[in-house]
Chains A and B, each alone.
Chain A
Amino acid sequence: MATSSERSPPPFPDSEDQYVLDSEEVGGRDCDEEDGEDLFMSAIEPPLTDTTLPTASQTSDDLLKPPSDIMNNPLNEPASGQTQNKPASAAVSEHSDDFIDLTNNVVATLKDATEISLDEPSDDFVDLLGSETEPPREEVVLADVSVEAVMGKSEVAGSDTDSPGDGKQEAKESSPVPIIDLSESSSSNTQQPPGTDKVFDPLADLLNDSPLITDAKNPRSTTTDPFIDEGSDLFSEPWQTKSAKQPQKSLFGEPDEDLFGEPLHTISKKTLNKEQKNKPVTTKAAADDTINITGPLQESKPVEPADLFSEEAVASAPSISNTSKASAVNAKTNGVLSEEDTDIFAEATVELSLDSPRTERKKEVIDKPSATALSLSAAASLTMPQAAALEELEEVEEEEQEDKFDIYVSVKDPEKIGDGMNAYMAYKVSTQTTLAMFRNKTFTVRRRFSDFLGLYEKLSEKHGPNGFIVPPPPEKSILGMTKVKVGKDDSSAADFVERRRGALERYLQRVVNHPSLLQDPDVREFLEREELPRAVSTQALSGAGFLKMINKATDAVSKMTIKMNESDVWFEEKLQEVESADQHFRKLHTLVESLVIHRKELSLNTASFAKSAAMLGSAEDNTALSRALSQLAEVEDKMEQLHQDQAANDTFSFAELIADFIRLLGAVRGSFDQRMKAWQRWQDAQAMLQKKRETEAKLLWANKPDKLQLAKEEIAEWEAKVTQYERDFERVSATVRKEVIRFEKEKAKHFKRQIVKYLESLLQSQQQLIKYWEAFLPEAKAIA
């Protein structure tokens, strides 16, 4: 239930979800993954849910406690979570608070994190931030998951313990049973659990149950149940690792972990924890086991991913890397059920806690009253609507997060091949990845510009109609290319090539960072295959190009003729935003471009002044002054370089980025158009159906039974089509919505990264400037 509601965007509740799952392979996979994650999460999340409001004294106690407690709590709590259903978010928020001053400043924690990360390169930094901003959503997801978990638990509880209330009590009383069950459930999935087998059932129940719930909506999920189960385990770790990963990256060393760990303890303040401590160990063990299984395989790397995971891996590429990382982390701690493990988990939870406290608090408010009294289902229903609203966003973010880390594509070494007008530029496309879907970890291929265009053509043909925003490559530039072809080795040609190289690189990165596009076989082929069949249709003057032009023209005409009465305010608003953003970006682009031009001019003028100053210095008869003047000339020379660098910096940090976004906005608009087209198809089909019905009525009136049969068939056919098209439309709408949100996130992130980069370079050039002038100052003072 929860999953379905989560997926569906508010406006189109259930039906969309189905569509997504059914029709889109990719989507389906994603869903599966997510389910798995959710399930998994449920196992993990319980800890979060368990914790209730911490008191200071308790927190201190908790701090003292070993990290293992944390683990235990989570696991134990699921049991309590069943009945209490306390929102994970509450606990999470508290975690963060405790983390630093035990006060409720989530912000403070965030800041700290950022400060720590300041030392590191900006990229990590950005990631951190990104993750931070994302967290709120994730939390929601978690909450949802927890709900599911709760549901699952309820069943578990049903099987193991008679009533949820019992489970709770037991948990509080340090009843090991529920805890063990959970752990076992995880272990059972992986089928490794030696001692914990007893409670096997509950786990299975949990896993199975959730799938079942989703089954109603997803036929797929049922089929993949086994996977899901395993997946859930796998995923659960990935989750943690994901979250854990970032902290680690960001130099959150162990000390940080400790900090985090403490908060967790505090979270667990609930009396349950203390006694539960014992339990955690067992749960940990279970977790470890599962991890271990996966660990070695993944660690050894994609080489032998064949086992259980391989399938999953293929299905969900992004998750694989995570799992692998997770496994790596786990591997370290494998045999030992030591504190390290707990640390990892703690981190994971902490990360979650970083997420927005608001949503969680809300939930708290809602949940608390219901927690004890309400039945599991009731609680679930309460949390669900909220979660549903944010779900999409979260999903998107999750995807992003997952994607970013495991594949990196670079475009390098532009090289001119051939002579004259047949010359073309070839680029080295190097890929670094840990994804199992690729045969190697790193590989390099040579691609020419038209190959990039060809890739885009294929992708947009395939995914455009589904409402995906397919990142567009840089436009063909006959002027620029001619310059290159003519072979003038002047700076403008080099500039052009460098700009294009950068644009192509960003284009490819956008493609591979898109979870759905990455799955596309054409993308893989593009990255991996040595020889690519030449893309013919991309030539501007070819027949295909001509056809394309005609298509575009007809599209434009039909777009004008379609009068869509927009039923969804969201789309209307977004479309307007896109249009105005487009305008703004264009204006901004011209401004930045002219800034660049001015800067170049400035650097030219500075250079000529430097020369002139040098001459003046040579003419000066006062030796000291002459020296100073030639020093001045040198300084100005360096300034010229600075101006030039700054101009390049402006170009690449801003102008190009903005150009990218102008292109991307075009793609966004394209996706809106696709949605409109789908709508139009649906409407047309409806009109047709109406017509058929009318003819049927007429036939009925005319009493022509022979034709009547035919008409009826036609109606049935058209009815099917109408529903089909309606589904299509809703599916496209959902995708567009998701894509637009993703796009916005991406945009914010990119801009931020660029700005940080820009500021850094600015800082650097300013420092250079200071250095130059400071070197000059004594010279000036030496004039006597």
Chain B
Amino acid sequence: MRSVSVDLNNDASLLIDIPDALCERDKVKFTVHTKTTLSTFQKPEFSVPRQHEDFIWLHDTLVETEDYAGLIIPPAPPKPDFESPREKMHKLGEGEATMTKEEYAKMKQELEAEYLAVFKKTVQVHEIFLQRLSSHPMLSKDRNFQIFLEYDQDLSVRRKNAKEMFGGFFKNMVKSADEVLISGIKEVDDFFEQEKTFLLDYYSKIKDSTAKAEKMTRSHKSTTWNFFYLFIFLTLKLGKLSDLFEKLRKVEGRVASDQELKLTELLRYYMRDIQAAKDLLYRRARALADYENSNKALDKARLKSKDIPQAEEHQQQCLHKFDKLSESGKRELTGFKGRRVVAFRKNLIEMAELEIKHAKVSNIMTGSHAERVLLDSCVASDLSNSTWDPY
């Protein structure tokens, strides 16, 4: 089940997917496959290798493009995190001596499955990023985006060096300070005023929810793992019951991962999306501040009767920019709202359906198993016998 968190109105003119990805140590190479009818592309169909950093680069260039200031730039995909499964793998390797072969094999299998799940998820978020770009009327026409899709060599994007990293950090600082500063400016438009308070509030809430949901899924997973340990232990002891435990554990695991996919990922994505929307608001507020500053400058110039035309021009520019931002911002935010509701709806329905499905499956399993336990008088003796058995 793909398409996690966003409902994308795929128009057939530009279809992007990531059919394949390769994991090389700490780098992940995605194969970005594009199918298009647009004439701006040389070929109707092509695939290029891209890395995570290329995605980040694309995102950053989009953010920095002046023209897109009035748009919600789709949030960049998070860095692939294979740390936790890798760490577990590592631990497994260490614990190899203390485990029996079966235990080790089972465990390894399980870890590989988890690794695969993380991998898939990573691919998916990257895919979504591209799909959102492609579905956006303006962003899909972006030159850099098209280069990203089409250029069949390594983009070999220059990695950010330490100074730039610091610069980015500094910029963020300035931005948030600026945000505080310009927050004093009186909002001229009720819509944006409302949007702003809503988004701020919503952002903090969704951030909290995301953290909580993450915690929940994590502990759900560790419960599953615990189940797994228990199962491993029981397999060796009581053949028949372990069967059930194994199945239950699998279902439980699926519940946990579905929950993560449908709920946590949704929340997480929208947390980032809201951040993007907030950025848009910031840019607009910045423009508003600029406009007011330019007004003041014009006033001053008039007072001094000096450089009036320049100031006027500047003021006009600022006004124009602000108006443009407001206009596209309004559109974007309304679109965002609709998108969010649709996405939540879809995901919540899916989650509820999955929960029901899993619960039913495990219910049937447990039921049939309970029946079997009841019918099969051997189970009890089996149980005791096998529990007695030394390895």
Contacts and interface: CB of A to CB of B under 8 A. Distances in A.
Q: Do A and B bind each other?
A: yes
A606 B373 CA distance: 32
A51 B281 CA distance: 95
Which of B206, B344, B352 has the most chain A CB atoms inside 10 A of its CB? B352
Contact of A763 (B226, B351, B363): B363
B187 interface: no
A530 interface: no
B373 A625 contact: no
Interface stretch (B13-21, B37-45, B379-387): B379-387
A53 interface: no
Contact of B373 (A576, A584, A755): A755
B213 interface: yes
Given A609-B215, A748-B380, A777-B352, A588 B359 contact: no
Interface in A596-630: 598-599, 601-602, 604-606, 608-609, 611-613, 615-616, 619-622, 624-625, 628-629
B352 A613 contact: no
Given A580-B388, A608-B215, A749 B344 contact: no
A282 to B, nearest CB: 38
Contacts, number: 184
Contact of B216 (A594, A599, A609): A609
A770 B227 CA distance: 21
A594 B211 CA distance: 24
B363 A619 contact: no
Contact of B341 (A625, A762, A770, A773): A625
A111 B374 CA distance: 9
B205 A759 contact: no
A749 B260 CA distance: 40
Given A595-B226, A632-B348, A751-B383, A766 B363 contact: yes
Contacts of A588: 230, 233-234, 237
Contacts of A598: 219, 222-223, 226
Nearest to A654: B230
B266 to A, nearest CB: 11
A129 B352 contact: no
A773 B355 CA distance: 7
B380 A752 contact: yes
B89 interface: no
Contact of A625 (B215, B345, B371, B375): B345
Contacts of A773: 352, 355-356, 359
Interface string B216-238: 10111011001101100110010
Given A751-B384, A783-B344, A118 B349 contact: no
A744 interface: yes
Interface in A697-740: none
Given A605-B216, A608-B212, A612-B205, A762 B366 contact: yes
A132 interface: yes
A774 B223 contact: no
A595 B223 contact: yes
B375 A111 contact: yes
B355 A605 contact: no
A58 interface: no
Given A619-B201, A776-B352, A759 B383 contact: no
Given A608-B215, A612-B205, A129 B371 contact: no
Contacts of B113: none
Tell me the dominant secondary structure on chain B's binding face.
helix
Interface in B112-150: none
A115 B227 contact: no
Contacts of B383: 748, 751-752, 755
A770 B348 contact: no
A649 to B, nearest CB: 13
B178 interface: no
A683 interface: no
Interface string A112-125: 00110110001001
Interface residues of A, number: 70
A100 interface: no
Given A599-B223, A605-B219, A766-B363, A581 B349 contact: no
A763 B202 CA distance: 38
B348 A619 contact: no
Contacts of A576: 390
Given A755-B373, A763-B366, A595 B227 contact: yes
Contacts of B363: 763, 766-767, 770
B364 to A, nearest CB: 9
A584 B381 contact: no
A772 B126 CA distance: 34
Tell me the dominant secondary structure on chain A's binding face.
helix
Nearest to A579: B390
A439 interface: no
Given A622-B337, A752-B383, A591 B375 contact: no
Interface string A752-784: 100110011011001101100110110011011
B95 interface: no
A625 B370 contact: no
Interface string A547-576: 000000000000000000000000000001
B78 interface: no
A116 B233 CA distance: 34
Which of A118, A587, A755 has the most chain B CB atoms inside 10 A of its CB? A755
Nearest to A574: B388
A604 B230 CA distance: 22
Contact of B377 (A110, A744, A777): A110
Contacts of B182: none
A783 B381 contact: no
A762 B389 CA distance: 27
A587 B391 CA distance: 13
Contacts of B360: 766, 770
B314 interface: no
Contacts of A621: 198, 337
A632 to B, nearest CB: 7
A173 interface: no
Contacts of B202: 616, 619-620
B60 interface: no
Nearest to A604: B219
A766 B215 contact: no
3 smallest beta-carbon distances between A and B, as pairs: A752-B380, A748-B384, A783-B345
Interface of B: 198, 201-202, 205-206, 208-209, 211-213, 215-216, 218-220, 222-223, 226-227, 229-230, 233-234, 237, 241, 244, 248, 337, 340-341, 344-345, 348-349, 351-353, 355-356, 359-360, 362-363, 366-367, 369-371, 373-375, 377, 379-381, 383-384, 387-390
20 contacts: A117-B374, A580-B389, A584-B387, A602-B219, A605-B216, A609-B209, A612-B212, A624-B341, A625-B344, A628-B344, A748-B380, A748-B381, A751-B384, A752-B379, A755-B383, A759-B373, A770-B359, A773-B356, A777-B349, A780-B351
Given A616-B209, A621-B198, A744-B384, 20 more contacts: A122-B374, A133-B377, A580-B390, A584-B387, A608-B215, A612-B209, A612-B212, A612-B213, A619-B205, A749-B380, A755-B379, A756-B374, A759-B369, A762-B248, A763-B363, A763-B370, A767-B359, A773-B359, A777-B352, A780-B348
